[in-house]
Protein backbone atom coordinates (compact mmCIF):
# COMPACT_ATOMS: atom_id res chain seq x y z
CA UNK A 1 0.00 0.00 0.00
CA UNK A 2 1.43 3.40 -0.93
CA UNK A 3 0.41 6.91 0.03
CA UNK A 4 -1.21 9.29 -2.48
CA UNK A 5 1.12 11.26 -4.73
CA UNK A 6 2.02 14.72 -3.49
CA UNK A 7 1.50 18.02 -5.22
CA UNK A 8 4.52 20.11 -6.11
CA UNK A 9 6.36 21.35 -3.01
CA UNK A 10 5.33 24.89 -2.10
CA UNK A 11 4.35 26.77 1.02
CA UNK A 12 0.62 26.63 1.66
CA UNK A 13 -1.37 29.90 1.76
CA UNK A 14 -0.73 30.46 5.47
CA UNK A 15 2.99 31.08 4.98
CA UNK A 16 3.91 33.97 2.71
CA UNK A 17 7.03 35.20 0.98
CA UNK A 18 8.82 31.83 1.03
CA UNK A 19 9.48 32.02 4.77
CA UNK A 20 8.18 30.18 7.82
CA UNK A 21 8.53 33.38 9.87
CA UNK A 22 5.56 35.14 8.24
CA UNK A 23 2.13 33.59 8.71
CA UNK A 24 -0.63 35.25 6.71
CA UNK A 25 -4.13 34.89 8.16
CA UNK A 26 -7.11 33.92 6.02
CA UNK A 27 -8.66 37.30 6.84
CA UNK A 28 -7.85 40.13 9.29
CA UNK A 29 -8.68 39.04 12.84
CA UNK A 30 -9.86 41.67 15.37
CA UNK A 31 -7.51 41.79 18.34
CA UNK A 32 -7.96 43.94 21.46
CA UNK A 33 -4.74 45.35 22.92
CA UNK A 34 -4.58 47.99 25.66
CA UNK A 35 -8.20 48.92 25.03
CA UNK A 36 -7.61 49.36 21.31
CA UNK A 37 -8.91 47.12 18.54
CA UNK A 38 -6.32 46.06 15.98
CA UNK A 39 -6.99 44.04 12.81
CA UNK A 40 -4.22 41.45 12.57
CA UNK A 41 -3.47 40.48 8.96
CA UNK A 42 -0.39 38.33 9.64
CA UNK A 43 1.86 37.10 12.44
CA UNK A 44 5.65 37.32 12.26
CA UNK A 45 8.37 36.19 14.66
CA UNK A 46 11.23 37.82 12.71
CA UNK A 47 11.32 41.61 12.37
CA UNK A 48 12.75 41.27 8.85
CA UNK A 49 9.61 39.39 7.72
CA UNK A 50 7.08 41.93 9.06
CA UNK A 51 4.55 43.41 6.61
CA UNK A 52 1.81 46.02 6.91
CA UNK A 53 -0.74 45.17 9.60
CA UNK A 54 1.23 42.24 11.02
CA UNK A 55 1.45 41.25 14.67
CA UNK A 56 5.14 41.06 15.66
CA UNK A 57 5.70 38.19 18.10
CA UNK A 58 8.93 38.69 20.06
CA UNK A 59 9.73 35.36 21.76
CA UNK A 60 12.15 34.67 24.63
CA UNK A 61 14.53 32.75 22.39
CA UNK A 62 14.99 35.93 20.38
CA UNK A 63 15.68 37.99 23.50
CA UNK A 64 17.77 35.77 25.76
CA UNK A 65 21.33 37.01 25.88
CA UNK A 66 20.61 40.17 23.89
CA UNK A 67 21.12 43.60 25.29
CA UNK A 68 18.12 45.88 25.58
CA UNK A 69 19.33 47.98 22.64
CA UNK A 70 19.14 45.06 20.26
CA UNK A 71 15.63 44.14 21.38
CA UNK A 72 14.57 47.75 20.81
CA UNK A 73 16.06 47.65 17.31
CA UNK A 74 13.98 44.57 16.46
CA UNK A 75 10.83 46.34 17.59
CA UNK A 76 11.71 49.57 15.79
CA UNK A 77 12.35 47.64 12.55
CA UNK A 78 9.04 45.81 12.90
CA UNK A 79 7.22 49.10 13.41
CA UNK A 80 8.96 50.69 10.44
CA UNK A 81 7.83 47.78 8.28
CA UNK A 82 4.22 48.36 9.27
CA UNK A 83 3.59 46.13 12.29
CA UNK A 84 0.18 46.88 13.77
CA UNK A 85 0.93 45.58 17.27
CA UNK A 86 3.60 43.93 19.38
CA UNK A 87 3.34 40.81 21.56
CA UNK A 88 6.19 39.92 23.89
CA UNK A 89 6.74 36.98 26.22
CA UNK A 90 8.49 37.40 29.55
CA UNK A 91 9.87 40.81 28.65
CA UNK A 92 9.01 43.72 30.93
CA UNK A 93 10.07 46.72 28.85
CA UNK A 94 8.31 49.70 27.34
CA UNK A 95 9.45 49.19 23.78
CA UNK A 96 7.53 51.30 21.25
CA UNK A 97 5.47 54.13 22.80
CA UNK A 98 2.13 54.51 21.08
CA UNK A 99 2.27 51.05 19.51
CA UNK A 100 -0.27 48.53 20.91
CA UNK A 101 1.74 46.12 23.07
CA UNK A 102 0.55 42.93 24.77
CA UNK A 103 3.06 41.65 27.35
CA UNK A 104 2.48 37.96 28.09
CA UNK A 105 3.94 36.20 31.10
CA UNK A 106 4.51 32.76 29.56
CA UNK A 107 4.87 30.76 26.37
CA UNK A 108 1.71 28.88 27.30
CA UNK A 109 -0.16 32.17 27.00
CA UNK A 110 1.52 32.78 23.65
CA UNK A 111 0.49 29.32 22.45
CA UNK A 112 -3.09 29.91 23.57
CA UNK A 113 -3.12 33.26 21.76
CA UNK A 114 -1.92 31.66 18.53
CA UNK A 115 -4.56 28.96 18.86
CA UNK A 116 -7.25 31.64 19.18
CA UNK A 117 -5.99 33.79 16.30
CA UNK A 118 -5.57 30.78 14.00
CA UNK A 119 -8.78 29.09 15.06
CA UNK A 120 -7.07 25.77 15.85
CA UNK A 121 -8.18 25.25 19.44
CA UNK A 122 -9.95 21.88 19.83
CA UNK A 123 -9.81 21.28 16.08
CA UNK A 124 -8.00 18.61 13.98
CA UNK A 125 -5.53 17.36 13.06
CA UNK A 126 -4.39 15.08 15.85
CA UNK A 127 -0.84 15.79 17.03
CA UNK A 128 1.55 12.98 17.94
CA UNK A 129 4.99 13.57 19.47
CA UNK A 130 8.20 11.52 19.55
CA UNK A 131 11.16 12.31 21.79
CA UNK A 132 14.45 10.59 22.62
CA UNK A 133 18.15 10.97 21.85
CA UNK A 134 18.22 8.58 18.90
CA UNK A 135 15.55 7.20 16.59
CA UNK A 136 13.16 10.17 16.62
CA UNK A 137 13.46 10.91 12.92
CA UNK A 138 13.00 7.29 11.87
CA UNK A 139 10.01 6.69 14.15
CA UNK A 140 8.34 9.90 12.99
CA UNK A 141 9.02 8.94 9.36
CA UNK A 142 7.43 5.52 9.89
CA UNK A 143 4.39 6.79 11.80
CA UNK A 144 3.73 9.52 9.23
CA UNK A 145 4.07 7.04 6.39
CA UNK A 146 1.69 4.57 8.09
CA UNK A 147 -0.91 7.25 8.86
CA UNK A 148 -0.73 8.56 5.30
CA UNK A 149 -1.56 5.04 4.14
CA UNK A 150 -4.47 4.85 6.58
CA UNK A 151 -5.89 8.37 6.45
CA UNK A 152 -4.94 9.47 2.95
CA UNK A 153 -2.65 12.22 4.25
CA UNK A 154 -0.41 12.90 7.23
CA UNK A 155 2.37 15.42 7.81
CA UNK A 156 5.47 15.41 9.98
CA UNK A 157 7.90 17.96 11.38
CA UNK A 158 11.44 17.13 12.40
CA UNK A 159 15.08 16.74 11.44
CA UNK A 160 14.13 15.70 7.91
CA UNK A 161 11.99 18.84 7.53
CA UNK A 162 8.30 19.59 7.06
CA UNK A 163 7.23 16.42 5.28
CA UNK A 164 3.83 16.42 3.59
CA UNK A 165 4.56 13.27 1.60
CA UNK A 166 7.59 11.07 1.00
CA UNK A 167 8.44 13.19 -2.07
CA UNK A 168 7.34 16.57 -0.70
CA UNK A 169 9.52 18.02 2.02
CA UNK A 170 10.54 21.56 3.02
CA UNK A 171 13.59 22.28 5.21
CA UNK A 172 13.19 23.58 8.77
CA UNK A 173 15.57 25.68 10.84
CA UNK A 174 15.29 23.31 13.82
CA UNK A 175 14.21 19.75 14.60
CA UNK A 176 11.29 21.19 16.56
CA UNK A 177 10.42 24.43 14.77
CA UNK A 178 9.50 27.74 16.35
CA UNK A 179 6.23 28.26 18.20
CA UNK A 180 4.83 30.24 15.28
CA UNK A 181 5.91 27.70 12.65
CA UNK A 182 4.48 24.78 14.62
CA UNK A 183 1.11 26.47 15.14
CA UNK A 184 1.08 27.69 11.55
CA UNK A 185 1.77 24.23 10.13
CA UNK A 186 -1.00 22.82 12.33
CA UNK A 187 -3.39 25.46 11.02
CA UNK A 188 -2.39 24.71 7.42
CA UNK A 189 -2.87 20.99 8.07
CA UNK A 190 -6.38 21.67 9.33
CA UNK A 191 -7.22 23.73 6.24
CA UNK A 192 -5.85 21.00 3.98
CA UNK A 193 -7.84 18.25 5.71
CA UNK A 194 -4.71 16.42 6.85
CA UNK A 195 -5.47 13.53 9.19
CA UNK A 196 -2.50 13.75 11.57
CA UNK A 197 0.62 15.79 12.38
CA UNK A 198 3.58 13.82 13.73
CA UNK A 199 6.33 15.85 15.43
CA UNK A 200 9.85 15.27 16.65
CA UNK A 201 10.08 16.92 20.07
CA UNK A 202 13.69 17.82 20.84
CA UNK A 203 15.19 18.81 24.18
CA UNK A 204 15.62 22.36 22.85
CA UNK A 205 11.99 22.40 21.74
CA UNK A 206 10.93 21.53 25.29
CA UNK A 207 13.42 23.89 26.98
CA UNK A 208 12.34 26.85 24.83
CA UNK A 209 8.67 25.83 25.03
CA UNK A 210 8.22 25.81 21.26
CA UNK A 211 5.46 23.23 21.71
CA UNK A 212 3.35 25.43 24.01
CA UNK A 213 -0.35 25.21 23.24
CA UNK A 214 -0.04 22.09 21.04
CA UNK A 215 -2.40 19.33 22.28
CA UNK A 216 -0.54 16.04 21.86
CA UNK A 217 -2.91 13.08 21.92
CA UNK A 218 -0.05 10.58 22.15
CA UNK A 219 3.72 10.66 22.64
CA UNK A 220 6.60 8.18 22.65
CA UNK A 221 10.01 8.24 24.37
CA UNK A 222 12.58 6.05 22.58
CA UNK A 223 15.77 6.27 24.69
CA UNK A 224 18.18 8.59 26.48
CA UNK A 225 21.82 8.98 25.47
CA UNK A 226 24.45 11.72 25.16
CA UNK A 227 23.56 14.76 23.08
CA UNK A 228 23.53 18.52 23.75
CA UNK A 229 24.58 17.92 27.36
CA UNK A 230 26.81 21.00 27.56
CA UNK A 231 24.05 23.23 26.20
CA UNK A 232 21.53 21.97 28.76
CA UNK A 233 23.90 21.97 31.73
CA UNK A 234 24.45 18.24 32.13
CA UNK A 235 22.78 14.87 31.78
CA UNK A 236 20.28 15.32 34.61
CA UNK A 237 18.83 18.50 33.09
CA UNK A 238 18.72 16.86 29.68
CA UNK A 239 16.85 13.92 31.18
CA UNK A 240 14.47 16.24 33.00
CA UNK A 241 13.48 17.92 29.71
CA UNK A 242 12.45 14.60 28.19
CA UNK A 243 10.49 13.81 31.35
CA UNK A 244 8.77 17.19 31.28
CA UNK A 245 7.39 16.62 27.80
CA UNK A 246 5.97 13.21 28.63
CA UNK A 247 4.49 14.51 31.88
CA UNK A 248 2.81 17.36 30.00
CA UNK A 249 1.26 14.94 27.51
CA UNK A 250 0.00 12.67 30.29
CA UNK A 251 -1.37 15.62 32.27
CA UNK A 252 -3.29 16.73 29.17
CA UNK A 253 -4.94 13.34 28.80
CA UNK A 254 -2.64 12.02 26.08
CA UNK A 255 -1.33 8.46 25.91
CA UNK A 256 2.37 7.98 26.71
CA UNK A 257 4.43 5.12 25.31
CA UNK A 258 7.99 4.20 26.27
CA UNK A 259 10.82 1.85 25.38
CA UNK A 260 10.48 -0.89 27.98
CA UNK A 261 14.03 -2.09 27.29
CA UNK A 262 15.58 1.24 28.33
CA UNK A 263 16.07 1.54 32.13
CA UNK A 264 15.86 5.34 32.31
CA UNK A 265 12.67 5.45 30.25
CA UNK A 266 11.13 2.71 32.41
CA UNK A 267 12.10 4.49 35.62
CA UNK A 268 10.65 7.83 34.57
CA UNK A 269 7.51 6.74 32.72
CA UNK A 270 6.78 4.12 35.35
CA UNK A 271 5.73 7.02 37.57
CA UNK A 272 2.99 8.03 35.13
CA UNK A 273 -0.40 6.41 35.34
CA UNK A 274 -1.43 4.61 32.17
CA UNK A 275 2.02 4.43 30.56
CA UNK A 276 2.41 1.74 27.87
CA UNK A 277 5.51 -0.05 26.59
CA UNK A 278 7.16 -1.77 23.67
CA UNK A 279 9.67 -4.50 24.57
CA UNK A 280 11.62 -7.28 22.93
CA UNK A 281 9.61 -10.49 23.16
CA UNK A 282 11.01 -12.80 25.83
CA UNK A 283 8.19 -15.33 25.62
CA UNK A 284 4.98 -15.63 27.57
CA UNK A 285 1.73 -13.73 27.21
CA UNK A 286 1.92 -9.99 26.55
CA UNK A 287 0.69 -7.75 29.35
CA UNK A 288 -2.23 -5.40 28.56
CA UNK A 289 0.11 -2.39 28.61
CA UNK A 290 2.84 -3.95 26.45
CA UNK A 291 3.59 -4.61 22.79
CA UNK A 292 6.21 -7.36 22.51
CA UNK A 293 8.28 -7.61 19.34
CA UNK A 294 10.72 -10.01 17.73
CA UNK A 295 12.28 -10.54 14.30
CA UNK A 296 12.24 -13.65 12.09
CA UNK A 297 14.70 -14.17 9.24
CA UNK A 298 15.81 -10.55 9.48
CA UNK A 299 12.84 -9.28 7.45
CA UNK A 300 9.67 -10.21 9.40
CA UNK A 301 8.66 -8.21 12.47
CA UNK A 302 6.40 -10.15 14.86
CA UNK A 303 4.18 -8.03 17.11
CA UNK A 304 2.22 -9.38 20.07
CA UNK A 305 -0.25 -7.63 22.39
CA UNK A 306 -2.79 -9.03 24.84
CA UNK A 307 -5.43 -9.07 22.09
CA UNK A 308 -3.40 -11.15 19.63
CA UNK A 309 -0.42 -11.05 17.29
CA UNK A 310 0.41 -10.02 13.72
CA UNK A 311 3.43 -10.10 11.42
CA UNK A 312 4.84 -7.15 9.48
CA UNK A 313 6.57 -8.27 6.28
CA UNK A 314 9.55 -6.91 4.35
CA UNK A 315 11.02 -4.69 7.06
CA UNK A 316 14.24 -2.69 6.48
CA UNK A 317 17.37 -4.86 7.07
CA UNK A 318 18.89 -3.24 10.17
CA UNK A 319 18.39 -4.03 13.86
CA UNK A 320 17.76 -0.41 14.80
CA UNK A 321 15.13 -0.15 12.05
CA UNK A 322 13.38 -3.16 13.61
CA UNK A 323 13.25 -1.47 17.01
CA UNK A 324 12.05 1.81 15.50
CA UNK A 325 9.35 0.03 13.51
CA UNK A 326 8.19 -1.69 16.71
CA UNK A 327 8.07 1.74 18.36
CA UNK A 328 5.93 3.06 15.52
CA UNK A 329 3.59 0.08 15.88
CA UNK A 330 3.26 0.67 19.63
CA UNK A 331 2.46 4.35 19.12
CA UNK A 332 -0.17 3.54 16.50
CA UNK A 333 -1.74 0.80 18.64
CA UNK A 334 -1.70 2.36 22.10
CA UNK A 335 -2.39 5.83 20.70
CA UNK A 336 -5.66 4.57 19.22
CA UNK A 337 -4.47 5.44 15.74
CA UNK A 338 -4.73 1.95 14.23
CA UNK A 339 -6.20 -1.45 15.06
CA UNK A 340 -4.04 -4.53 15.50
CA UNK A 341 -5.18 -6.01 12.19
CA UNK A 342 -4.32 -2.73 10.43
CA UNK A 343 -0.64 -2.83 11.40
CA UNK A 344 0.66 -5.28 8.75
CA UNK A 345 -0.80 -3.26 5.87
CA UNK A 346 0.35 0.05 7.39
CA UNK A 347 3.90 -0.99 8.23
CA UNK A 348 4.92 -3.71 5.75
CA UNK A 349 7.43 -2.74 3.03
CA UNK A 350 8.25 0.43 4.95
CA UNK A 351 10.73 2.52 2.92
CA UNK A 352 14.03 3.31 4.61
CA UNK A 353 14.05 6.79 6.16
CA UNK A 354 16.21 9.24 4.25
CA UNK A 355 19.83 9.12 5.43
CA UNK A 356 19.23 6.28 7.92
CA UNK A 357 21.41 3.37 6.78
CA UNK A 358 20.46 4.37 3.28
CA UNK A 359 22.25 2.49 0.52
CA UNK A 360 23.70 4.93 -2.01
CA UNK A 361 25.90 2.50 -3.98
CA UNK A 362 26.81 -1.19 -3.89
CA UNK A 363 28.11 -1.85 -0.39
CA UNK A 364 28.04 1.86 0.56
CA UNK A 365 25.61 3.29 3.13
CA UNK A 366 25.10 6.74 4.62
CA UNK A 367 23.67 7.32 8.09
CA UNK A 368 22.93 10.20 10.45
CA UNK A 369 24.48 8.49 13.52
CA UNK A 370 26.20 11.23 15.53
CA UNK A 371 25.96 10.00 19.13
CA UNK A 372 27.88 7.13 20.79
CA UNK A 373 24.72 5.04 21.12
CA UNK A 374 23.63 5.59 17.51
CA UNK A 375 27.11 4.79 16.18
CA UNK A 376 27.22 1.54 18.18
CA UNK A 377 23.77 0.57 16.88
CA UNK A 378 24.79 1.35 13.30
CA UNK A 379 27.91 -0.81 13.49
CA UNK A 380 26.01 -3.67 15.13
CA UNK A 381 23.35 -3.53 12.40
CA UNK A 382 25.89 -3.41 9.58
CA UNK A 383 28.14 -6.26 10.71
CA UNK A 384 25.72 -9.10 9.76
CA UNK A 385 25.38 -7.60 6.27
CA UNK A 386 29.14 -7.53 5.71
CA UNK A 387 31.04 -10.44 4.10
CA UNK A 388 34.40 -8.67 4.12
CA UNK A 389 35.72 -5.74 6.13
CA UNK A 390 33.48 -3.19 7.80
CA UNK A 391 34.81 0.28 6.97
CA UNK A 392 33.65 3.42 8.79
CA UNK A 393 34.05 7.11 7.94
CA UNK A 394 32.81 9.65 10.48
CA UNK A 395 33.54 12.78 12.51
CA UNK A 396 32.05 14.84 15.32
CA UNK A 397 30.43 18.26 15.26
CA UNK A 398 32.09 21.31 16.74
CA UNK A 399 30.78 23.61 19.44
CA UNK A 400 29.08 20.89 21.48
CA UNK A 401 29.47 17.61 23.35
CA UNK A 402 33.26 17.36 23.48
CA UNK A 403 33.02 14.55 26.02
CA UNK A 404 31.54 12.14 23.47
CA UNK A 405 34.38 12.40 20.94
CA UNK A 406 36.86 9.95 22.47
CA UNK A 407 33.99 7.61 23.35
CA UNK A 408 32.86 7.58 19.72
CA UNK A 409 36.44 6.84 18.66
CA UNK A 410 36.51 3.89 21.05
CA UNK A 411 33.16 2.55 19.79
CA UNK A 412 34.28 2.93 16.17
CA UNK A 413 37.56 1.11 16.81
CA UNK A 414 35.82 -1.78 18.53
CA UNK A 415 33.09 -2.13 15.90
CA UNK A 416 34.85 -1.49 12.57
CA UNK A 417 37.88 -2.94 10.79
CA UNK A 418 39.24 0.35 9.43
CA UNK A 419 38.44 4.00 10.13
CA UNK A 420 38.55 7.36 8.40
CA UNK A 421 38.10 10.34 10.73
CA UNK A 422 37.03 13.52 8.98
CA UNK A 423 35.11 16.77 9.43
CA UNK A 424 31.44 16.93 10.39
CA UNK A 425 30.13 20.48 10.90
CA UNK A 426 33.21 21.79 12.77
CA UNK A 427 31.40 25.12 13.22
CA UNK A 428 33.76 27.47 15.08
CA UNK A 429 36.26 24.79 16.17
CA UNK A 430 39.39 23.52 14.46
CA UNK A 431 38.41 20.38 12.55
CA UNK A 432 41.80 18.74 13.03
CA UNK A 433 41.67 19.26 16.79
CA UNK A 434 38.25 17.57 16.86
CA UNK A 435 39.60 14.66 14.81
CA UNK A 436 42.54 14.21 17.16
CA UNK A 437 40.18 14.06 20.16
CA UNK A 438 38.27 11.28 18.39
CA UNK A 439 41.51 9.48 17.50
CA UNK A 440 42.54 9.50 21.17
CA UNK A 441 39.67 7.10 21.78
CA UNK A 442 40.77 4.82 18.93
CA UNK A 443 44.10 4.32 20.73
CA UNK A 444 45.57 2.09 18.02
CA UNK A 445 42.81 -0.52 18.25
CA UNK A 446 42.33 -0.59 14.47
CA UNK A 447 43.78 1.08 11.36
CA UNK A 448 42.79 4.74 11.34
CA UNK A 449 43.42 7.63 8.99
CA UNK A 450 42.66 11.30 9.62
CA UNK A 451 41.65 13.18 6.45
CA UNK A 452 39.93 16.48 7.26
CA UNK A 453 38.57 17.14 3.77
CA UNK A 454 35.38 15.05 3.78
CA UNK A 455 35.34 14.60 0.00
CA UNK A 456 38.95 13.41 -0.02
CA UNK A 457 38.21 11.07 2.90
CA UNK A 458 35.26 9.53 1.05
CA UNK A 459 37.38 9.10 -2.10
CA UNK A 460 40.12 7.38 -0.11
CA UNK A 461 37.64 5.07 1.66
CA UNK A 462 36.02 4.12 -1.67
CA UNK A 463 39.45 3.42 -3.13
CA UNK A 464 40.29 1.14 -0.19
CA UNK A 465 36.94 -0.71 -0.30
CA UNK A 466 37.08 -4.23 -1.68
CA UNK A 467 34.14 -5.95 -3.41
CA UNK A 468 33.17 -7.84 -0.24
CA UNK A 469 33.63 -4.84 2.07
CA UNK A 470 30.87 -2.60 3.42
CA UNK A 471 31.47 1.13 3.87
CA UNK A 472 29.48 3.21 6.35
CA UNK A 473 29.63 7.01 5.98
CA UNK A 474 28.20 8.34 9.24
CA UNK A 475 27.28 11.60 10.87
CA UNK A 476 25.46 13.58 8.19
CA UNK A 477 22.92 11.27 6.59
CA UNK A 478 20.28 13.47 4.94
CA UNK A 479 22.06 16.77 5.69
CA UNK A 480 22.74 19.01 2.70
CA UNK A 481 25.51 21.17 4.16
CA UNK A 482 28.74 21.34 6.14
CA UNK A 483 28.95 24.21 8.61
CA UNK A 484 32.36 25.86 8.88
CA UNK A 485 33.01 29.12 10.75
CA UNK A 486 29.30 29.95 10.93
CA UNK A 487 28.71 29.39 7.19
CA UNK A 488 26.69 26.46 5.86
CA UNK A 489 28.28 25.27 2.62
CA UNK A 490 26.41 22.88 0.30
CA UNK A 491 27.32 19.25 0.83
CA UNK A 492 25.83 15.77 0.35
CA UNK A 493 27.55 12.51 1.24
CA UNK A 494 25.30 10.64 -1.18
CA UNK A 495 26.02 13.04 -4.05
CA UNK A 496 29.76 12.86 -3.34
CA UNK A 497 29.77 9.05 -3.51
CA UNK A 498 27.71 8.95 -6.70
CA UNK A 499 29.82 11.63 -8.39
CA UNK A 500 33.02 9.74 -7.61
CA UNK A 501 31.65 6.42 -8.85
CA UNK A 502 30.36 7.98 -12.09
CA UNK A 503 33.88 8.96 -13.11
CA UNK A 504 35.99 6.63 -15.27
CA UNK A 505 38.18 4.38 -13.07
CA UNK A 506 41.40 6.04 -14.23
CA UNK A 507 40.12 9.47 -13.08
CA UNK A 508 38.03 8.41 -10.07
CA UNK A 509 40.77 8.80 -7.45
CA UNK A 510 42.81 11.58 -9.05
Residue 39 in domain: yes
Kindly report the number of other CB atoms within 10 A of residue 503's CB atom: 12
> SS3 string of 30-60?
EEEECCEEEEEEEEECCHHHCCCCEEEEECH
Residue 229 in domain: yes
Domain that holds residue 445: 358-508
Residue 101 in domain: yes
pLDDT of residue 325: 97
The answer to whether residues 283 and 338 belong to one domain is yes
Domain finish residue from 347, 375, 403: 347
Domain with residue 293: its CATH number is 3.40.1190.10
Domain with residue 80: its CATH number is 3.40.1390.10
The answer to whether residues 435 and 502 belong to one domain is yes
Domain finish residue from 347, 381, 404: 347
- The region of weakest confidence among 260-274, 277-291, 300-314, 329-343 is 277-291
The answer to whether residues 36 and 75 belong to one domain is yes
The answer to whether residues 297 and 404 belong to one domain is no
pTM beyond 0.75, yes or no: yes
The answer to whether residues 454 and 333 belong to one domain is no
| Separation CA 4–CA 164 (nearest Å) | 11
What's the chain's average pLDDT?
Answer: 90
The answer to whether residues 185 and 317 belong to one domain is yes
- Output 283 or 341, whichever has higher pLDDT: 341
Question: Which of left, alpha, beta for 357 (phi over 0: left; psi -120 to 50: alpha)?
Answer: left
The answer to whether residues 395 and 462 belong to one domain is yes
Q: What is the DSSP string of 344-359?
A: HHHHTTPPPPTTSSEE
| Mean predicted confidence (pLDDT) in 140-162 | 96
Residue 372, pLDDT > 80, answer yes
- Dihedral over Cα of 463, 464, 468, 472: its sign: negative
Domain with residue 480: its CATH number is 3.90.190.20
CA angle 387, 472, 493 (to 5 degrees): 140
The answer to whether residues 131 and 237 belong to one domain is yes
| Separation CA 239–CA 232 (nearest Å) | 10
Residue 235, pLDDT > 90, answer no
| Mean predicted confidence (pLDDT) in 386-391 | 96
Residue 4 in domain: no
Indicate the number of domains in the chain.
Answer: 3
The answer to whether residues 93 and 155 belong to one domain is no
Residue 458 in domain: yes
Residue 61, pLDDT > 80, answer no
CA angle 392, 400, 198 (to 5 degrees): 80
The answer to whether residues 226 and 92 belong to one domain is no
Residue 118 in domain: no
pLDDT of residue 92: 75
The answer to whether residues 338 and 378 belong to one domain is no
pLDDT of residue 484: 95
The answer to whether residues 366 and 451 belong to one domain is yes
Domain finish residue from 105, 137, 154: 105
Amino acid sequence: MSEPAAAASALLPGFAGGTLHHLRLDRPVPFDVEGRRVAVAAICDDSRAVTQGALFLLLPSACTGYEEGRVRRYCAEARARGAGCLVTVGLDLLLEPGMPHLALASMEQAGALLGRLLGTRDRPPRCIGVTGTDGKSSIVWMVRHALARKLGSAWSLGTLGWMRAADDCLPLDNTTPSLLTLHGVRADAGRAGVGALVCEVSSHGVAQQRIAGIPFSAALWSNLGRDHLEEHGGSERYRALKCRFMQQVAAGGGRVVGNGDHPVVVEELGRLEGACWYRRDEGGAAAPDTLAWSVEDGRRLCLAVAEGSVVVEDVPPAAFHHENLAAAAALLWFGGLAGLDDLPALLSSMPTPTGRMEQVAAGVYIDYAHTPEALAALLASARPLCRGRLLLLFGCGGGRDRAKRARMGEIAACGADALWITEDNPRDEDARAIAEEIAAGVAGRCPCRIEIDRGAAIADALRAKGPEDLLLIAGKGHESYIERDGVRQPWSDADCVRALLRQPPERRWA
